[in-house]
């Protein structure tokens, strides 16, 4: 159900502002909204700078934590989606403030060391690239930029591809036949390039350089006066220095990993403070007093007010919401319905005055899921797995806990329908008996076998669909009553419902229905006449009042006719949509049976038993995974489209109280 809300208004001493907000945060009961105080007495609190600083600290803590996980991972940490967060007390958070600055400094040092590691690795990559480029020249006795002697010029460079000395000399001679005072030596020849050292008399140097360039000569980039061997040794020393710097930074990070818990704690500590300072933006500050307004659950309002007035010098006023107020929505349900609350909120919270459909929705959700999965073996596995997780992991997050409860409920429904239809991992009981036993043992359905009588299951699926859609119209009537629009029930609920029921009553007695259902249902002529009369009367009512918002009778009739078409066509399409119960229910059992047949092809004996077990496990696991997903998706689809489409608007604003919002630790507040 939707919790009733009270408007909360507090006036207290400005000196107690922080303590009051911390108390509200730890109770998690009040949503703080912008205070509407007298502008001459109160002004909004400026907290932007503090919020920005806290966000900066949170970012630094998260970055430092990411560095620790990457550079010095905690191998002893519990992992997995079921581990939950470590539980701490409020006193732990209070005492942490004393050392928060030191922990923040540690986080910044970790980030700085990580940048130092990245810089060292970048420099090492550059130096290694230089060594790689220098490798062909290691046998060269002079620097790469050596220019020559008093009477000679030296050219050090390379040609693309592998060439011989003769080929290069011939190319140079062809380019400059007048030259003769030069010589050339191959330093290194590889497939990619040929490195050469050429010497020429200074008088022919310019022409010789032009000749070399014309045949593809390229000078290397020279950054040092050392010869290649000495330069390579220098690069090696630089690389070793950077590696030592990298190792030292990594060691400091490893040492700082001892503060991992404190760094995570710092992020949560600042998240709590940030939530408080963001709430302060909505608090009005006077010279001596503060004004705080918001919303609180009505059932908790008086107790909270008494606690605050007893602890602080303040006055609290609790009032009922007025028309036009933007009242937040909070759902309060039992475990049965609350388990599927995420399905509802995924579509949207109900608006103020709208009925909470969760209890009705939960009943059909479990039934529909079970019908589509409908195998007792799969249901037992699903139920058992969820039950085990709930019992073993006591510190589950609320969202995960509700998911486990939801799927456990779905598993129970699946087990029920599985025994009703006689499916336990398909026909595994009978198949095992046929192959390895006497062939006389089989699991009999409590009702009937849908594989043998699929039309019967189709008719049952339509009955479930009609019940589900009828429940949607009932919820629509409840919403009208809550909104003070009871007279609208006649036009938007009774007329559409009884139009369909009457048409259905007329259809039941026809030969077409008998063919589909496999048996005829006799309908007396007088009952058929009543159904015709009810259908006609309700159809006329829809035509006359379906467009009642229009003043023009012409528009009203046209809109009413269109509304009648939507009722008939909509009901027909929606009911047919529940044929998916047949499709998915049969698919689960038939695929499981096929897997059992494949597993039994090995026959009797040890080899046949091993083959049976392997194929059974693999096949049933795949079938389980595929069909549990299909059942979940299609159950949600029936809820969102067919069920909600008849009555639910949604769009409510979620209740967002000032509370403890942490990521790494779960804080427990003692009352």
Long-range residue pairs from 568-571, CB within 8 A, at least 24 positions apart, any chain: 568/499, 568/500, 568/503, 571/469, 571/496, 571/500
pLDDT in tens, 426-471: 999 999 999 888 777 888 999 999 999 999 999 999 999 999 999 9
In a domain, 156, yes or no: yes
Query: Residue 443's closest CA among 465, 461, 426?
Result: 426
Same domain, 81 and 186: no
In this predicted model, what pLDDT tens digit does every residue of 17-73 receive, in sequence order? 999 999 999 999 999 998 876 666 678 788 899 999 999 999 999 999 999 999 988
Name the one residue in this structure whose structure tokens are 């509200």. Answer: 24
Residues 6+ apart with CB under 8 A from 641: 577
Pairing state of beta strands 182-189 and 86-89? unpaired
At 552-577, the pLDDT tens digits run: 888 889 999 999 998 999 899 999 99
Residues 272 and 420 in one domain: no
Instruction: With beta carbons less than 8 A apart as the criterion, state whether 653 and 326 touch.
Output: yes
Residue 107 belongs to a domain: no
When pLDDT is cut at 50, 70 and 90, the band that residue 370 belongs to is very high
Range of the domain at 17: 5-92+256-319
Let me know: does 322 contact 295? Beta carbons within 8 Å.
no
How many structural domains is the chain composed of?
A: 3
- Give the pairing type, strands 30-33 and 193-201: unpaired
d(CA 293, CA 355): 27
Q: Residue 222 pLDDT more than 80?
A: no
Sorted by sequence, the CB contacts under 8 Å of residue 341 that are 6+ apart come out as 331, 333, 358, 402
Residue 223's pLDDT is what?
73
Strand partners, 156: 197
Find the mean pLDDT for residues 164-172.
89
Of 164, 197, 221, which residue is a domain's last?
A: 221
Domain match, 438 and 346 both:
yes
Query: How does residue 78 score in pLDDT terms, banded at 50, 70 and 90?
Result: low
Residue 295, strand partner residues: 7, 31
Weakest-pLDDT range from 18-22, 176-180, 625-629 = 176-180
**pLDDT score for 640:** 95
pLDDT at residue 329 is higher than 90: yes
206 and 262: one domain? no
What's the CATH number where 185 sits?
A: 3.30.70.2750
pLDDT of the residue at 80: 65
Give dist(CA 546, CA 493) in Å, integer: 11
Separation CA 458–CA 471 (nearest Å):
20
Give 271-285 as a 3 state SS string: HHHHHHHHHHCCCEE
If asked whether residues 370 and 421 sit together in one domain, one would say: yes
- Is 397's pLDDT higher than 90? no
Query: 646 φ, ψ to 5°?
Result: -90, -20
Asked if 9 and 72 sit in the same domain, the reply is yes
Helices (H), 422-494: 428-436, 454-482, 488-489
What pLDDT score was predicted for residue 671?
53
Q: What is the pLDDT of residue 458?
A: 93
Are 208 and 293 contained in the same domain?
no
16 lies in the same domain as 87:
yes
- Work out the end-to-end distance of the chain between its first and last CA atoms, rounded to an integer number of angstroms: 26
Same domain for 426 and 339, yes or no, is yes
* Residues 95-119: tens digit of each pLDDT: 888 899 999 999 999 999 999 999 9
User: Angle at Cα 669 formed by Cα 663 and Cα 671, nearest 5°?
Assistant: 160
- Length of the chain counted residue by residue: 671
Residues 261 and 217 placed together within one structural domain of the fold: no
- Please give the average per-residue pLDDT across 642-655, as a whole number: 92
Tokens describing residue 508? 């039941």
Q: Which of the four pLDDT bands, split at 50, 70 and 90, describes residue 87?
A: confident
Residue 368 lies in a domain: yes
Q: Is residue 288 part of a domain?
A: yes
Beta strands 284-285 and 289-297, pairing class = antiparallel
Return d(Cα 328, Cα 110) in angstroms, integer. Answer: 43
Which residues does 193 contact at the CB level (< 8 Å), separation at least 6? 136, 158, 159, 160, 161, 162
Instruction: Report the percent of the chain where pLDDT is more than 90.
Output: 69
Query: Which tens digit of pLDDT belongs to each residue from 510-567?
Result: 877 777 777 778 888 888 899 999 999 999 999 999 888 888 888 889 999 999 998 9
Tell me if 513 is assigned to some domain. Answer: no
Distances, alpha carbon 129 to alpha carbons 122, 137, 146, 363, 611, in Å: 11, 14, 22, 68, 56
571 lies in some domain: no
Residues 588, 624: Cα–Cα separation, whole Å: 8
Q: C-alpha angle with apex 584: 580 to 589, nearest 5 degrees?
A: 150
* Number of other CB atoms surrounding residue 576 within 10 Å: 12
Residue 579 covered by a domain: no
pLDDT at 40: 62
Q: Domain ends where: 196, 221, 246?
A: 221
Alpha-carbon gap, residue 142 to 225, rounded angstroms: 9
Q: For residue 243, is it within any domain?
A: no
Close Cβ partners of 166 (under 8 Å, ≥ 6 residues apart): none
- Domain boundary among the residues 296, 319, 342 is at 319
- Tens digits of residue pLDDT in 296-314: 999 999 999 999 999 999 9
Q: Please work out, in degrees rounded to the nearest 5, the angle formed at the alpha carbon of residue 619 by the alpha carbons of 617 and 620.
A: 65
What gap in Å lies between CA 323 and CA 651, rounded to an integer? 17
Q: Are residues 389 and 443 in the same domain?
A: yes
Write down the pLDDT at residue 79.
56
The answer to whether residues 307 and 347 belong to one domain is no
């Amino acid at each position: 159900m939707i919790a009733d809300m009270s408007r909360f208004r507090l006036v207290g001493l400005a000196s107690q502002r922080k303590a009051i907000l911390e108390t509200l945060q730890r109770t998690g009961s009040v949503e703080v909204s912008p205070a509407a105080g007298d502008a001459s007495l109160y002004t909004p609190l400026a907290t932007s700078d503090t919020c920005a600083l806290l966000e900066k600290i949170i970012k630094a803590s998260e970055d430092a934590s990411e560095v620790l996980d990457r550079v010095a991972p905690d191998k002893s940490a519990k992992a997995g989606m079921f581990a939950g967060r470590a539980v701490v007390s409020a006193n732990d958070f209070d005492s942490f403030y004393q050392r928060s600055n030191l922990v923040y400094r540690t986080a910044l040092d970790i980030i700085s060391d990580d940048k130092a590691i990245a810089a060292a690795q970048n420099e090492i990559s550059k130096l290694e690239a230089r060594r790689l480029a220098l490798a062909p020249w290691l046998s060269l006795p002079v620097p790469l930029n050596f220019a020559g002697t008093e009477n000679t010029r030296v050219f050090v460079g390379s040609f693309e591809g592998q060439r011989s000395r003769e080929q290069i000399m011939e190319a140079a001679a062809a380019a400059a036949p007048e030259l003769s005072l030069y010589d050339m030596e191959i330093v290194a020849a590889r497939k990619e390039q040929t490195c050469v050292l050429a010497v020429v008399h200074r008088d022919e140097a310019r022409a010789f350089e032009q000749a070399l360039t014309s045949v593809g000569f390229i000078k290397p980039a020279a950054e040092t006066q050392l010869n290649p061997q000495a330069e390579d040794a220098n690069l090696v020393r630089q690389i070793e220095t950077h590696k030592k710097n990298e190792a030292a930074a990594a060691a400091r990070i490893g040492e700082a990993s001892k503060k991992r818990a404190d760094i995570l704690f710092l992020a949560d500590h600042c998240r709590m403070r940030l939530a408080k300072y963001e709430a302060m933006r909505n608090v009005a500050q006077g010279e001596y007093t503060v004004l705080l307004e918001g919303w609180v659950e009505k059932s908790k309002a008086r107790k909270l007010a008494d606690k605050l007035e007893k602890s602080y010098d303040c006055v609290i006023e609790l009032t009922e919401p007025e028309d036009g107020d933007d009242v937040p929505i909070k759902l309060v349900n039992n475990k049965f319905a609350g388990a599927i609350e995420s399905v509802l909120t995924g579509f949207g919270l109900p608006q103020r005055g709208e009925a909470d459909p969760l209890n009705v929705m939960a009943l059909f959700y479990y039934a529909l899921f079970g019908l589509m999965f409908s195998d007792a073996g799969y249901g037992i596995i699903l139920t058992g797995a969820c039950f085990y997780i709930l019992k073993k992991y006591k510190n589950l997050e609320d969202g995960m806990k509700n998911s486990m409860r939801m799927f456990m409920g779905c598993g129970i429904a699946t087990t029920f329908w599985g025994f009703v239809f006689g499916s336990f991992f398909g026909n595994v009981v009978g198949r095992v008996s046929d192959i390895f036993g006497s062939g006389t043992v089989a699991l009999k359905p409590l009702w009937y076998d849908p594989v043998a009588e699929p039309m019967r299951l189709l008719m049952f699926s339509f009955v479930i669909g009609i019940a589900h859609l009828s429940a949607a119209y009932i919820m629509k009537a409840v919403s009208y009553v809550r909104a003070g629009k009871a007279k609208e029930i006649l036009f938007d609920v009774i007329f559409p419902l009884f139009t369909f029921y009457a048409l259905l009553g007329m259809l039941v007695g026809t030969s077409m229905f008998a063919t589909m259902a496999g048996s005829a249902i006799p309908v007396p002529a007088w009952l058929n006449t009543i159904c015709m009369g009810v259908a006609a009367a309700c159809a006329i009512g829809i035509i006359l009042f379906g467009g009642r918002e229009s003043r023009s009778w012409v528009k009203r009739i046209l809109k009413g006719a269109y509304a009648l078409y939507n009722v008939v066509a909509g009901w027909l399409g929606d009911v047919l949509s529940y044929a998916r119960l047949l499709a998915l229910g049969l698919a689960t059992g038939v695929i499981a049976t096929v897997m059992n047949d494949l597993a039994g092809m090995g026959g009797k004996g040890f080899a046949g038993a091993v083959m049976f077990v392997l194929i059974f496990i693999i096949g049933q696991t795949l079938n389980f995974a595929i069909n549990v997903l299909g059942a979940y998706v299609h159950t949600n689809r029936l809820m969102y489209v067919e069920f909600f489409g008849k009555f639910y608007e949604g769009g409510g604003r979620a209740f967002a109280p000032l509370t403890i919002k942490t990521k790494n630790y779960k804080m427990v507040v003692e009352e």
